[in-house]
């Protein structure tokens, strides 16, 4: 009989890809955040009691980075209290808790291209990063069986993300010059590739903290340029510095993560970001254009 997985945040970009990847080998329950609010302790305990999953996979998060600076209570409610509730429920029923975290737990002050590994000390600069780190700490404290996967620069076919924003801007006005930050470095990660990596970790039943990102690195400008080239849409891009594009939240200048522990354990299935991006466009390019033109 297939084992049971409860995917929290199942309606989101990553949650949907995880459900699609896992359904062949697992019995999948994937409620969206409107159906199961992970910050509601009683609702979480009741859901886990009823389902008795072998694995709880947390894809739910409050990811509006700039909005977190003003909506601090909601950021902490979802990103810190939510994982604590899942950890408690998982510990009660002996489930493995797989929790998705972020590059924003680091300060990004390391000079690129030197990456961050799982052993490096965190030092978040934003409310988003601070709340996600608090969630990690709660998982480690409460859930004896847990796997935390930190990822970065996530994009996919569903939901909102940087690539869709770039495409929308380019299509809406091909003559507009789009200014894109060119001094922040990171590892673009396709949500479907991350879902496959999560599946591999679940199958192995390993515990600990892991980095799980696309291999290699680039800047936001590099990523936008390559994506729009692959999409074959007219566009005009101009690189700019972080100081020229201020945001409410301070973002890490260096978000390069090394998938060291996955490689050491023989579990790494991530691939070069350029290769993943090409397949993403080949599979989803037409649908993306239809979406932005709707």
Catalytic residues: 128
| Cα gap 225→240, rounded to integer Å | 13
Q: Supply angle C-alpha 136, 141, 147, rounded to 5.
A: 50
Distance CA 211, CA 194 (A): 10
Q: Measuring CA to CA, which residue among 68, 53, 142, 70 is closest to residue 102?
A: 68
Count of CB atoms situated within 10 Å of the CB of 139: 23
- Overall size of the chain counted in residues: 294
Strand ranges, E, within the chain = 3-8, 26-29, 55-58, 96-102, 146-151, 154-155, 177-181, 185-186, 189-190, 208-211, 218-219, 236-240, 254-255
* Degrees, nearest 5: CA angle 203-209-212: 70
Residue 79 CA: distances (Å) to CA of 116, 224, 259 = 22, 28, 23
Rounded Cα distance between 270 and 154, Å, is 13
Q: Decide: 139 and 146 in contact? Cβ < 8 Å.
A: yes
Secondary structure of the chain: what % helix, strand, coil (to 5)? 45, 20, 35
What's the Cα-to-Cα distance from 28 to each of 23, 25, 38, 57, 91, rounded to whole Å? 6, 9, 17, 10, 20
- Given the DSSP bridges, would you call strands 218-219 and 185-186 parallel, antiparallel or unpaired? antiparallel
């Amino acid at each position: 009989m297939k084992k049971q997985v409860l995917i929290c945040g199942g309606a989101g970009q990553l949650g949907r890809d995880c459900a699609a990847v896992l359904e062949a080998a697992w019995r999948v329950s994937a409620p969206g955040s409107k159906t199961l609010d992970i910050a509601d302790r009683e609702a979480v305990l009741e859901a886990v009691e009823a389902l008795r999953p072998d694995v709880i996979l947390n894809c739910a998060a409050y990811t509006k980075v700039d909005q977190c600076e003003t909506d601090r209570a909601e950021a902490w409610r979802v990103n810190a209290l939510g994982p604590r509730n899942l950890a408690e429920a998982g510990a009660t029923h002996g489930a493995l808790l797989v929790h998705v975290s972020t590059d924003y737990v680091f300060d990004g002050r390391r000079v690129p291209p030197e990456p961050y590994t799982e052993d490096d000390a965190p030092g978040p600069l934003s409310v988003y990063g601070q709340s996600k780190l608090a969630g990690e700490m709660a998982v480690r404290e409460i859930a004896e069986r847990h796997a935390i996967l930190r990822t970065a620069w996530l994009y996919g076919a569903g939901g909102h993300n940087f690539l869709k924003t770039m495409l929308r801007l380019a299509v809406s006005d091909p003559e507009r010059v789009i200014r894109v930050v060119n001094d922040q470095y990171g590892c673009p990660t396709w949500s479907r590739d991350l879902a496959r990596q999560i599946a591999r970790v679940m199958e192995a039943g390993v515990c600990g903290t892991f980095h799980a990102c696309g291999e290699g690195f680039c800047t936001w400008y590099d990523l936008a340029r390559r994506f729009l080239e692959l999409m074959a849409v007219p566009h005009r891009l101009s690189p700019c510095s972080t100081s020229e594009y201020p945001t409410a939240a301070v973002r890490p200048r260096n978000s390069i993560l090394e998938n060291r522990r996955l490689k050491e354990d023989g579990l790494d299935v991530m691939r070069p970001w350029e290769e993943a991006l090409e397949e993403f466009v080949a599979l989803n390019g037409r649908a993306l254009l239809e979406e932005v033109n709707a």
